[in-house]
Structure 1
Amino acid sequence: MHVVVNAATSADGKLSTRRREQIAISGDEDFERVDRLRADSDAVVVGVGTVLADDPHLTVKDDSLCDQRRERGEPEHPARVVVDSKARTPSDAAVLDDAAASYVCVSEVAPVDRRMDLSDHARLVTAGDDRVDLLRAFAALESSGLERIMVEGGGELIFSLFEVGLVDELRVFVGPTVIGGRDAPTLADGEGFVEEFPTLSLETIRRVGDGALLTWTAG
């Protein structure tokens, strides 16, 4: 399995405002890059916070990229995966529609009725007691044939993936905007590291409009 975390941050490292409201950080050129990355992936993964805040569809937008996937014998869109310990994903969330396969990863604390409801709309992966055990959940995804994984956020999920060593590559578009706010979400939230820190190797820096795309590999 190869896991790529992709994100867009402001110049000061924020994903959105302190109100968790999305603002335009990147432009058309970066949107096209993200669409290509989705098209090259077997699955796109987000945390439930992203689903509740943005209700993303997580499908490939460019018809020609969808055609290329079909020509390779792949589904038109990659699978959508939500990491959702307590099964809070709404049953009518866009990510659960019939455009592509959907998975919801839950833990044992998720209410049984919510799990049953979600199982009508997605393939359920139960891993972990109080929260999703990402190592077990991602192993289950891999056994389902999902090997090229793109992670689109949010900060809590990204931190947790670094915490368990599942990130192979980090791609960040840094835009020419300052958001500020001590409570605004950052690229990697969660508890934070205090002793041992994940190390990254910078592979490329590319100017994209008035921003920059940085690509690191995990060391």
Structure 2
Amino acid sequence: MKPFVFVNVAASVDGKISNERRVQLRISSKEDMERVDKLRAESDAIMVGIGTVLADNPKLTVKSDELRKKRVLEGKPENPLRVVVDSKARIPEDALILNDEAETLLAVSKKADLEKLKKLQEKAMIFVAGEERVDLSELMEFLYHIGVRKLMVEGGGELIASLFREGLVDEIYVYYGNVIIAGKNSPTIADGKSLDEPAELELLEFKKLGGGILTRWRVKRKRFN
């Protein structure tokens, strides 16, 4: 068993999620940022890869006071569980995602440094799965076991590609901002090693939002490794 997994990403018209320096860029409109906050509030957990943490240092919390209060009234914590996929435990000990505003689960492989994990377990739950890299299927089973039914994935590109490769993505939202970033080495929506065959999608939603375009796609069930 696994949660319902959906990816949410903002990209330039040419499909880039950052530039070659991999710095955080403003791609989303105000309207899209409000939509993303609502999606976070409706999720049980939010997942990112270590690359996103190192590049952006996000909190991954719900920004709206009203949405946080609504979660509490529903018997939920103010913020969803935060999940970091970090095979070698490279996360800095002072990363914002390890603050006490929400619980954090750090998913690592057996290659992670044990001494660092001892320090990190004071700030996060630790889940070990996989030899060299985190076993994403095993992680999904664990998340379902602890009550996660709706998982939001916010990047980065390599994690998104890996999830597609394992057949773990159910839907993907792509917000195309009204910008061009360019750069052959700029990270893309699904980065890293390419799929052996394209993942086939079905368009569910298409609309103008702010200065850009929001699309939502259903992934047709299939593995792509």
TM-score relative to the length of structure 2: 0.95
Q: Is the partner of 1:165 in helix, strand or coil?
A: coil
- Mapped partners of 1:115, 1:146: distance in 2: 23
- Mapped partners of 1:91, 1:13: distance in 2: 32
- Mapped partners of 2:117, 2:192: distance in 1: 25
- Mapped partners of 1:22, 1:156: distance in 2: 16
**Counterpart position of 1:148:** 150
Q: Is 1:46–2:48 an aligned residue pair?
A: yes
**Counterpart position of 1:208:** 209
Q: CA RMSD in A?
A: 0.7
Give 1:73 shift: 0.2
**Contact 2:29–2:211 (CA under 8 A) maintained in structure 1:** no
Q: Once superposed, which parts of structure 1, at least 4 consecutive aligned residues long, lie more than 2 Å away?
A: none
Give 1:31 shift: 0.4
Q: How many residues align?
A: 218
Structure 1 gap ranges (5+):
none
**Contact 2:15–2:188 (CA under 8 A) maintained in structure 1:** yes
Give 1:197 shift: 2.1
**Contact 2:46–2:81 (CA under 8 A) maintained in structure 1:** yes
**Counterpart position of 2:223:** none
Give 1:90 shift: 1.0
**Counterpart position of 1:102:** 104
**Contact 2:46–2:154 (CA under 8 A) maintained in structure 1:** yes
Output one character per residue of 1:135-164: Cα deviation in whole Å (capped at 9) or x when no partner: 001111111111110000000000000000
- Mapped partners of 1:19, 1:214: distance in 2: 27
- Mapped partners of 2:66, 2:98: distance in 1: 23
TM-score relative to the length of structure 1: 0.98
Q: Is the partner of 2:53 in helix, strand or coil?
A: helix
**Counterpart position of 2:75:** 73
Equivalent positions of 1:30-41 (< 5 A) are 30-41=32-43
- Mapped partners of 1:50, 1:80: distance in 2: 13
Question: Amino acid of the residue matched to residue 142 of structure 1?
Answer: Y
**Counterpart position of 1:166:** 168
Give 1:16's match in structure 2, choosing from 1, 18, 21: 18
- Mapped partners of 1:131, 1:201: distance in 2: 30
Identity of aligned residues (%): 49
- Mapped partners of 1:144, 1:64: distance in 2: 26
- Mapped partners of 1:126, 1:40: distance in 2: 27
Q: Structure 1 stretch 69-78 or stretch 112-121: which is displaced more? A: 112-121
Output one character per residue of 1:35-66: Cα deviation in whole Å (capped at 9) or x when no partner: 00000000010000100111000000000000
**Contact 2:7–2:154 (CA under 8 A) maintained in structure 1:** yes
Output one character per residue of 1:92-116: Cα deviation in whole Å (capped at 9) or x when no partner: 1111111111000000011111221
- Mapped partners of 2:138, 2:113: distance in 1: 20
